[in-house]
Amino acid sequence: MAAHYDVLIVGGGIAGLSLASELAGRCSVALVEAEQDLAYHTSSRSARQLIPSYGPPVVQELTVRTLELIAARDSELPEPVLTPRSFMLIGTEEAVAVEASGHMRPITTAGALELCPALVPGSFAAAGLDTGSFGCNAPLLLADHRQRAVDAGADIITGARVHSAQRLGSGWQVGAGTEAFEAAVLVNAAGAWADELAVISGVEKLGLQPYRRTAAIAAVEHPLPEHGPMVAAADNTFYFRREGADVLISPSESEPSGPEDARPRPGDVERLVVTLNRVTTLGIREIRKAWTGLRTEAADGVPVAGFDAEAPCFYWLAGQGGYGFQTSSAMAELAAYQILAKLGHPDASAEARTGPASRTVQALAATRWSVRR
């Protein structure tokens, strides 16, 4: 016999978990995840940095709102999710000028070297600094969303890959693992598998494309300053930041992939080490571990949030690209109000227009208030 819910969320990463915690207690919610562990794929492979100057204008607005929401929640937690950590961009004058945006100010090369003494003088010509950037304790944020959802009555089922989904009267009937579900609203928060879930559901794909992004933890001879910035090349060839006594490094690659449990390819990390040992004095000695995640994007680079124009009560919450954590709370706020309005929840639609979600609504209004084709 199928279990009945108002909302069934498919996907247990940051998108799905943040929405579950936002909706739980206001309607009946279940979340299903294909893997045995929540946040197994991209959400467990994050750079753990929330950067207001990173991404197109709509993403920056979503980031500012997400930072506000997480900061408000931090006051209730035994330890904070957010830790101040600036973000510095380096490169040629042209590249930095192109990539720097509203929340970033230019600084001199001397200022950049003072903030990050590991940089080799002469290896870059310009720099920009975002002092409103924060380090993010991603595991703590994920755990808090999960706990809030469960405490408010949400059911979370892992090891349940969706194998069937079809419209049934006024809702959806979904088979996941050995379980059967019926729900008024089906939320597609399946990350790299979002288009695959659409196909299973008989919904037209949006053409969402996963891209590879590799990172590693490296032991170094000369650790970075404790409160130093995260540093990224404006030409997207690397980034690095302190990770305890070690350093987190990435080649910042963005190469198309199919949906998969991505792994580093031979040579990717080794070439990065050569580059970083040339432009810094870190002295990378050893790679402690390496991993690859998938950043799934729509063609316009803007996250997808909204009901499908042709499939009633099928809600897309996908395509966050490399902005998943930094837009997650704002996206969940928006999605919750849209879904509650669809369910006829009291005052939900008015709240979305005039209440705390209004900034998020305004940010997305010019791009994708609902999913259009």
Residue 295 has pLDDT above 50, yes or no: yes
Split at pLDDT 50, 70, 90, the class of 182 is: very high
Are the CB atoms for 223 and 241 separated by under 8 Å?
A: no
pLDDT of 369 reads 40
Segment 201-209 mean pLDDT = 95
Cα 187 to chain center, whole Å?
Answer: 17
Residue 368 has pLDDT above 60, yes or no: no
* All residues at 6 or more sequence positions from 213 whose CB lies less than 8 Å from its CB, including other chains: 45, 250, 252, 253, 254, 292, 293, 294, 295, 322
pLDDT per position as a tens digit, 2-34: 899 999 999 999 999 999 999 999 999 999 999
pLDDT of 141 reads 97
Segment 93-120 mean pLDDT = 93
pLDDT of 362 reads 54
Residue 90 has pLDDT above 60, yes or no: yes
pLDDT per position as a tens digit, 324-358: 999 999 999 999 989 999 999 875 655 555 444 55
pLDDT of 101 reads 76
Nearest 5°: the CA angle 234, 49, 142 is 150
Residue 278 has pLDDT above 90, yes or no: yes
322 vs 191, which has greater pLDDT? Answer: 191
pLDDT of 353 reads 52
DSSP alpha helices (H): ranges in 218-357?
268-279, 324-342, 348-354
Segment 304-321 mean pLDDT = 92
Are the CB atoms for 134 and 85 separated by under 8 Å?
A: yes
Of 66-80, 142-156, 217-231, 353-367, least confident by mean pLDDT is 353-367
Q: Which amino acid is at 46?
A: S
Segment 284-296 mean pLDDT = 96
Are the CB atoms for 18 and 328 separated by under 8 Å?
A: yes
Q: For residues 141 and 349, give the distance between their C-alpha atoms in angstroms, rounded to a whole number.
A: 27
